[in-house]
Chains A and B, each alone.
Chain A
Amino acid sequence: MRFSFSRLFAVLVKEFVQMRRDRITFAMMIGIPIMQLLLFGYAINSDPKNLPTLVEMADQGPVSRAVLMGMQASEYFDFIGIVTGQEEGDRALRDGTANFVIVIPPNFERDVVRGLHPEVLLSADASDPAAAGGAVGAISGVIDTAIRETMTGPLRYAATGAPPFTVTVHRQFNAEGRTSTNIVPGLLAIILSMTMVMITAVAIVRESEKGTMEALIATPVRPFEVMLGKILPYILVGYVQTFVFLLAANYLFDVPFIGSRLAFFAGFNLYIIVNLALGFLISTVAKSQMQAMQISFFTILPTILLSGFMFPFAGMPGWAQTIGSAVPATHFLRLTRKVMLKGADMTDISTDMVNIGIIMVVIVAVALRRYRQTLD
């Protein structure tokens, strides 16, 4: 009475038939990833441009105008109007009609010529640091350049001297700093985790909730045959999702894939399995499909927030990094970014593979301990 391939096959056939009949879930398995890709890929931008800006101009000279031209050319600022006093500017920031108010002080041009180093004030709505950050970081350079280009000939002395050193920033792996290049590879980790965990957990709990588990285990079926038969079809779903993802990454978002295909293949297989195992573990805890769904959602939060998908991993406090390290997505996310954007091969991803492997061993061990062949 050992492992039987014919019984495994029977469970597989049954799962596929059920999957085919459950059109809505099937559509979700393919639809959710595409939806997420489109939303995250197109909607999220961590370096926003064209932010509404008001101008308070107490000086109308060519230098001042050059400053404004420079700001407009940077694409960060989109001038929407002119204010005449501090109060008016503050109100616009408060009610959100403008993100920035730039104040050119009186006699700005004269003071520049006299070498008095006048101050230009950029009031920013920093309640959303991400929105203000890029523009604030760029403003000094923009004004500096604008003044230097205007102060030529005899006025050259007034232009800001070149700093005593230059910093050369070399933006590697994502030269244009595009958000989608960063987000899209990470998104695969989120999509697979979200759908794989939930679908497996729900599919298994459905058997006990509908009572079919009782008839199933009253037959001579082995636990391993049930587990494998239930998990294998969803590995296939994971393949389909990954395939759709790769197509979209390439054709819709122009995300490069420069690393080893073998490394990627090994990585996403391991990652799919660890997620299915997690789903299986959840199914041993949950009493109903609703509970399975809720617990699955609970695992999605740390996956999105602590994995380094939304926020830089290195910027999180130590305790959050510790929790984040226990999340499989953290390691798979690094792996995908390494392979797709940095041209990594098998040796480069070995640490990530080992980490996912350790998490998997723990999950499988707990799941098998909890799984019962009886109704106890």
Chain B
Amino acid sequence: MTQTEMAISVRGLTKIFGKRTVVDHFDMEVPKGAIYGFLGPNGSGKTTTIRMMCGLLIPDGGEGSCLGYDILTESHAIKENVGYMTQRFSLYEDLTIRENLDFIARMFRMKDRRKHVDQALADLGLADRAGQLAGTLSGGWKQRLSLAACMIHKPRLLMLDEPTAGVDPKARRDFWTEIRRLAASGVTVLVSTHYMDEAIQCDYIAYIAYGKKLISGRAADIPDKIGLVSWRVEGPDIGKLEAELRATEGIGQVARFGAVLHVWGTDADALENIVAEQKKRRIHSWRRQKAGLEEAFIYLMVDAPDNFSVGAGG
């Protein structure tokens, strides 16, 4: 792929706070129009990386471009064209919904500001509550307002930092419908999350831990890249088996998908031994399967501890 097809292309991005290296030689290529999932445990450096890419933090090392603008020297142009949604609600709680949107629109010196703000309010379904203080909104509405605010200037690239943290499942589903609609219209979306059901919706994935990128690529390729071996188990008393398997050494991971049990890990030999042992009992049917995204994300995320011991601040 050539440079121009990349919305984001960074190499060796490094950020050091004091003595801690929060982001360590991070590379990322985000194709235009893609939904790119940015995964990692709390404190792994996701927020810091996003902030560096949209010009809010100056990298201590590395280079790259965002929408073709140099992240080191052209952060002003990047800000004009990127919509950045912060992890924490960062609009003014003591301004009304309309005043907030109006303020952001003014910051981008938009023509026909009133029209765009009215449109955004209508899209949000908040037109009749436009005079309500933003601080009085519920978590889900705050998040929708934030999204509307960071999109008001029609950016070509959206950077969403854990946009659905603490939001109820229904609001999250609506939110993702919106994200997919945007991506279909050609907007590139970089979204950090630690929800598995959200990671599955992404076209591309990068996984970061302790400031280092561990794996990245097309979402569909991720299980193979990790090298996961997966088994599908069916039969009676699946709950009991699950508990038993969890207590077994070398099993990797176990999870229930409805009435079916999935067992997977990277150590194929160890798994093979356990499966052989189980098959002798002839209670359950064991079948080898291609590891899916779910298994891959559980593998990556479930056992990963929060990274605050080395790096705070997401």
> What is the interface of chain A, defined by CB distance below 8 A to chain B?
1, 4, 6-7, 9-10, 13-14, 17-18, 21-22, 210-221, 374-376
Given contacts A1-B77, A215-B86, contact A210 B93 (CB under 8 A): yes
0/1 interface trace, chain B 137-149, chain A, CB 8 Å (1 if under)? 0000000000001
Q: B58 and A7: CB pair below 8 A?
A: no
Smallest CB separation, B311 vs chain A (Å): 15
Which residues of chain B (211-256) have a CB below 8 Å from chain A? none
In the bound complex, CA of A216 to CA of B56 (Å): 10
Is B89 touching A10 in the complex (CB atoms < 8 A)?
no
Q: Mark B86-103, 1 if CB is under 8 A from A, else 0.
A: 101111111100010001
Q: Which of A4, A211, A221, A376 meets B58, CB within 8 Å? A: A376
Contact A17 B90 (CB under 8 A): no
**B106 & A6 in contact (Cβ 8 Å cutoff):** yes
CB distance from B92 to the nearest CB of A (A): 6
Question: Which B120-149 residues have a C-beta within 8 angstroms of A?
Answer: 133, 149
Contacts of A21 in B (CB 8 A): 94, 133
Task: Determine whether the beta carbon of B80 is less than 8 Å from that of A220.
Answer: yes
- Give Cα A132 to B13, complex, Å: 72
Indicate whether A375 sits within 8 Å of B103 (C-beta atoms), given known contacts A212-B90, A214-B86, A220-B76. no
CB <8 Å contact, B94 and A18: yes
Least Cβ–Cβ distance between A181 and chain B, in angstroms: 42
23 A-B contact pairs sorted by A residue (CB < 8 Å): A1-B77, A4-B109, A7-B106, A7-B109, A9-B106, A10-B103, A14-B92, A18-B92, A18-B94, A18-B95, A21-B94, A210-B93, A212-B90, A213-B90, A215-B84, A216-B107, A218-B82, A218-B86, A219-B104, A220-B79, A220-B80, A374-B55, A375-B57
Q: How far is the CA of A50 from the CA of B104 in the complex (A)?
A: 64
Return B52 CB to nearest CB of chain A, in Å. Answer: 9
A211: which B residues are within 8 A, CB to CB? 86, 88-90
Q: Does B108 contact A (CB under 8 A)?
A: yes
Is B54 in contact with chain A by the CB < 8 A criterion?
yes
Pair A375/B56 contact, Cβ less than 8 Å? yes
A167 CB, min distance to chain B CBs, angstroms? 64
Q: Which residues of B contact A10 (CB under 8 A)?
A: 103, 106-107
**C-alpha gap A288/B159 in the complex (Å):** 27
Q: A244 CA to B149 CA in the complex, in Å?
A: 41
With A10-B106, A375-B56 in contact, do A219 and B91 touch (Cβ < 8 Å)? no
Task: Give Cα A9 to B149, complex, Å.
Answer: 19
Picked from A4, A6, A214, A220, the residue with its CB within 8 Å of the CB of B56 is A214
Which residues of chain A are within 8 angstroms of B80 by Cβ–Cβ distance? 1, 220
> Does B194 sit at the interface, judged by CB under 8 A?
no
Given A1-B77, A18-B95, also A374-B103 (CB < 8 A): no
B51 CB–A CB distance under 8 Å: yes
A220 pairs with B107, CB closer than 8 A: yes
Seed contacts A7-B109, A214-B90, A376-B58; 19 additional CB < 8 Å A-B pairs:
A7-B106, A10-B103, A10-B107, A21-B94, A211-B86, A212-B90, A212-B92, A214-B56, A214-B88, A215-B86, A215-B90, A215-B104, A216-B107, A218-B84, A218-B150, A220-B107, A374-B55, A374-B57, A375-B57
| Alpha-carbon distance between A340 and B107 when the two chains are bound, in angstroms | 44
Contact A218 B54, beta carbon cutoff 8 Å? yes
Top-4 shortest CB links A-B: A10-B106, A219-B107, A215-B90, A218-B84
Alpha-carbon distance between A215 and B87 when the two chains are bound, in angstroms: 10
Contacts of A6 in B (CB 8 A): 106, 109
| CB-CB nearest in chain B for A10 | B106
The interface residues of chain A lying within 8 Å CB-to-CB of B54 are: 218
**B residues near A212, Cβ cutoff 8 Å:** 90-92
* Residue from the list B76, B89, B104 in contact with A1, Cβ < 8 A: B76
Distance, CA A216 to CA B82, complexed state (A): 13
Q: Which residues of B contact A9 (CB under 8 A)?
A: 106
Chain A residues whose CB sits within 8 angstroms of the CB of B104 once the complex forms: 215, 219
* Contacts known (A10-B107, A211-B86, A215-B86); A17 close to B95, Cβ less than 8 A: yes
A219 to B106, CA, bound (A): 10
Residue in B closest to A14 when the chains form the complex, CB atoms = B103
- Which of A22, A213, A221 is B94 in contact with, Cβ under 8 Å? A22
Query: Considering only CB atoms, which chain A residue lies closest to B51 in the complex?
Result: A375
Contacts of B92 in A (CB 8 A): 14, 18, 212
A212, closest chain B residue (CB)? B90
Contact B108 A374, beta carbon cutoff 8 Å: no
B 252-296 to A, binary, CB cutoff 8 A, 1 in contact else 0:
000000000000000000000000000000000000000000000
Which residues of chain A are near B88, meaning CB under 8 Å? 211, 214
- With most chain A CB atoms within 10 A of its CB, the pick from B55, B82, B95, B106 is B106
Q: Which residues of A contact B90 (CB under 8 A)?
A: 210-215
Chain A residue with minimal CB distance to B93?
A210
Residue in B80, B90, B95, B108 with the greatest tally of chain A CB atoms within 10 Å: B90
In the bound assembly, the distance between CA atoms of A217 and B94 in angstroms comes to: 18
Closest to B74 in A: A1
In the assembled complex, the Cα of A218 lies from the Cα of B57 at a distance in Å of: 10
For A22, give the chain B residue with the smallest CB separation: B94
Q: Which residue of A lies closest to B55 (CB)?
A: A374
